[in-house]
Amino acid sequence: MSFLSQFRAAPNLLTLMRLFIIPFLIIEILDGHHVTAFALFLLAGVSDALDGLLARWLSQKTTLGQYLDPIADKLLLSSLFVVLTHVGLIPRYVTVLVFSRDLGILLIATLLFATGTLRDFRPSFFGKLNTLVQIVSLTILLSQLVVRLPGLPLVSDFLVRSIAFLAPLSAAQYAWIVIRRMNGAPQSGG
| Model pLDDT, residue 30 | 97
Q: What is the mean pLDDT of each run of 10 residues along the chain (190 residues)?
A: 70 89 97 97 92 77 79 93 96 96 85 72 84 95 92 93 95 85 60
| Model pLDDT, residue 43 | 95
Q: End-to-end distance of the chain based on CA atoms, in angstroms? A: 31
| Model pLDDT, residue 96 | 97
| Model pLDDT, residue 101 | 92
The pTM of the full predicted model, rounded to 2 decimals, is 0.85
| Model pLDDT, residue 175 | 84
Give the span between the Cα atoms of 21 and 50, in whole angstroms: 15
Q: Give the residue among 20, 18, 38, 19 at the shortest CA–CA distance from 28.
A: 38
Give the span between the Cα atoms of 129 and 65, in whole angstroms: 23
Q: Report CA 182 to chain centroid distance, whole Å.
A: 26
| Model pLDDT, residue 92 | 97
Q: So where are the chain's domains?
A: 1-88, 91-190
